[in-house]
């Protein structure tokens, strides 16, 4: 696993990290809850046949304090569109997981020309009172890992402080990622994304970890139905065995293979 090339763009004035690796047609990835404090195997799988481009969301690791100037939903989606454009992803295939999945869906719905094909991994943005999503912010610190990944050690390893990291700033950066997610999705995760999904024109792959403990698996059907209600796009749904909310971390090979197969 080699390191990606890192460039920095300015998003609303905040320095924002963009990772790039591989060759071939570009494919973008917007990370899930907690963000990416380090490169992960899933991205290597995508980079085997594609140029994978990973811009950091505002407030997520690599995204500085960009969330602090985003007060409304419109602020957020405009920031993510700008991020996608600046990262060179306009018109490319786009993958989003969890929090990032919600933004990928928003961009595909509101600016259909920005997204060629779309893959959503257990996106935020919906809430069903009869089958409520788990509150990711009202958790004891030790309980979070098992909520995010099927194998809690996968999340722990992602979040573990690397040797030589700044021991003060590292934990603050991880808390900031949770705060950035809270800033747009507090308190229920419901941004009424369901109302906009029908605008999506990109063929969409919906992926869900079989043991997702954050977003109920039943939401997969709701997302697919909402997209198809617009008669603008087709969807395909895949449930990933032995995977939790961040399925791409638990099962990088399976999730990447499903995505690459779908994108063609």
The footprint of another protein (CB under 8 A) covers 65, 67-68, 71, 137-140, 167-168, 171-172, 175-176, 178-183, 186-187
In the bound state with another protein, the residue whose beta carbon lies nearer, of 133 and 247, is 133
Cβ-based nearer residue to another protein, 167 or 231: 167
91 in helix, strand or coil? coil
Q: Which is nearer to another protein, 34 or 209 (CB)?
A: 34
- Smallest separation (angstroms) from another protein to the CB of 99: 13
Q: Which is nearer to another protein, 19 or 60 (CB)?
A: 60
Give the Cα separation of 219 and 122 in Å (integer).
8
User: Least Å distance between CB 135 and another protein?
Assistant: 8
H or E stretch at 144: helix 144-148
How far is it, in rounded angstroms, from Cα 40 to Cα 157?
10
219: helix, strand or coil? helix
* Helix (H/G/I), strand (E/B), else coil: 157: helix
Pairing mode of beta strands 26-30, 51-55: parallel
Cβ 148 to another protein shortest distance, Å: 14
DSSP 8-state secondary structure symbol assigned to residue 57:
P
Q: Which is nearer to another protein, 187 or 218 (CB)?
A: 187
Spatial CA neighbour of 38 closest among 66, 61, 54:
61
Q: How far apart are CB 60 and another protein at their closest, in Å?
A: 12
* Token duo for residue 70: 């985003």
CB of 26 to another protein, least distance (A): 31
């Amino acid at each position: 696993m080699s390191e990606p090339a890192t460039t920095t763009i300015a998003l609303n004035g905040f320095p924002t990290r963009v990772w790039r690796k591989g060759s071939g047609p570009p494919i973008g990835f917007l990370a899930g809850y907690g963000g990416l404090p380090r490169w992960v195997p899933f991205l290597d799988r995508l980079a085997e046949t594609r140029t994978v481009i990973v811009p950091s969301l505002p407030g997520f690791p690599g995204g500085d304090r960009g969330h602090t100037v985003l007060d409304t939903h419109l602020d957020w989606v405009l920031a993510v569109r700008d991020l996608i454009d600046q990262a060179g992803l306009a018109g490319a295939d786009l993958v989003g997981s969890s929090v990032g999945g919600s933004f990928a869906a928003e961009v595909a719905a509101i600016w259909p020309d920005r997204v060629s094909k779309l893959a959503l991994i257990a996106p935020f943005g919906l809430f069903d009172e009869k089958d409520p999503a788990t509150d990711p912010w009202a958790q004891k610190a030790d309980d979070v890992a098992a909520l995010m990944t099927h194998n809690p050690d996968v999340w722990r390893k992602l979040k573990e402080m690397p040797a030589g990291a700044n021991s003060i700033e590292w934990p603050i950066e991880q808390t900031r990622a949770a705060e950035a997610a809270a800033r747009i999705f507090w308190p229920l995760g419901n941004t009424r994304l369901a109302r906009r999904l029908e605008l999506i024109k990109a063929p969409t792959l919906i992926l869900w970890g079989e043991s997702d403990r954050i977003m109920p698996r039943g939401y997969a059907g709701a997302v697919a139905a909402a997209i198809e209600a617009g008669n603008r796009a087709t969807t395909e749904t895949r449930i990933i065995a032995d995977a939790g909310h961040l399925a791409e971390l638990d099962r990088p090979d399976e999730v990447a293979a499903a995505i690459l197969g779908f994108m063609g």
